[in-house]
Structure 1
Amino acid sequence: MKLITPLIFLLATSSFAQIEGNSQKINQNNKPKYVLENATINYVISGDGTGDAVLHFDRNGWRSIESRNLTISRYGVTSTEKTIELIDGDYIYKANIDSKKGKKSMDKSWSGLLNYKSKEETLAAIMQSRGATKSGEESLLDKTCTVWQFESGTITELWEWEGVPLKIVKKLPGINYEITAQSIEELEEMPQNLYQELEMVSWSQ
């Protein structure tokens, strides 16, 4: 038994070591990414896709984790998937929990631009780099959202409140669906069960 326990601990530590992040350092040295220090946002998915999603974030938005359960009916075939996306500062992890496969990448747009630009200027620069144009403002959950329209890609419309995504409209071959925020609550704690699920994922660049 003395030989097995260290091995189990080593495997768990090795798996967890794949998840890197620098949100704590960025939060200490940079301006807030979101208007709220922390929150849990619950979403409903409607349209050709149905389901729910939950976004948790802390450290002024520099660390976030979203779980999404989606059921899609397309061409007479119904499929389901569970995905988790973790953003820890500049590090991004996107995983399909069903297949236990994920991709990790790095994006320094937010941390780099907020060093010398305002929140509004940073958002505009990021959206424009992604081919989006501002189409107006709408209200959701008593929050004034800036609405962005995208020329290409799977996201066709995004409603954001001071950077916080409150509504996403997606279009894929044969289906259209919306992810709409239903409530914004104070974060109790970051969900450790989602981190544990990510530890079982095989990552690629």
Structure 2
Amino acid sequence: MDLLVGQPEISVFPPLDSEAEWLAGAHGADILEYLRAARATEGPVLDLGSGDGRFAVPLARHGFDVDAVDHDGPSLVRLRDWAGRLDVVRGRVTTIEADLAQLRLSRSYGLVMLAAGTVLELPRAVRPALFRQVAAHLRNGGVLALDYICARRPRIMAPGLETAAIVGDLRAAGLRIRRRDTRPLCEGLESTFLLCAPRGR
């Protein structure tokens, strides 16, 4: 059975059967990073750009309430179907169909996440307002966690101008980077994980 599409670090696990559900548990390095962040902040979790639940369902399986936001309705249907088949997840995942550019938050979170390169898919004009809104809706001790893949060598992908702009947008929104982990992937690419908190907290 082909469970992975693309590189495992950024792939989507289709929740098709019990074997796929087992493999989509918290076994991926990126899923574990978000699980650690959720445990440190105690939730609840806001998964921005959740897709079909690669992160939301494992976090819910570990006891966290997750609001999963995505603009793609069919992905959210797959997420609900997957979560609905797991008794332990029932009632822990709320899906919200919304474009992140128009998203208005109404509650506070311990962890807000932009996983699997979602931050790079956001139009640059959208990021500053979204980051400000996230910063304003983090509980005491809450964090924004995000990860993305970038090039170590300019010939592989465009130089890191976009990632530098992301860091600038985070700072402008009043967020400071508390932790940055960078890991090499395949030749010339690296994965970066950022944990950000509001300044002064």
In the superposition, the TM-score normalised over structure 2's length comes to 0.26
Q: Which structure is higher in helix share?
A: 2
- TM-score when normalising by structure 1: 0.25
Higher strand share: 1
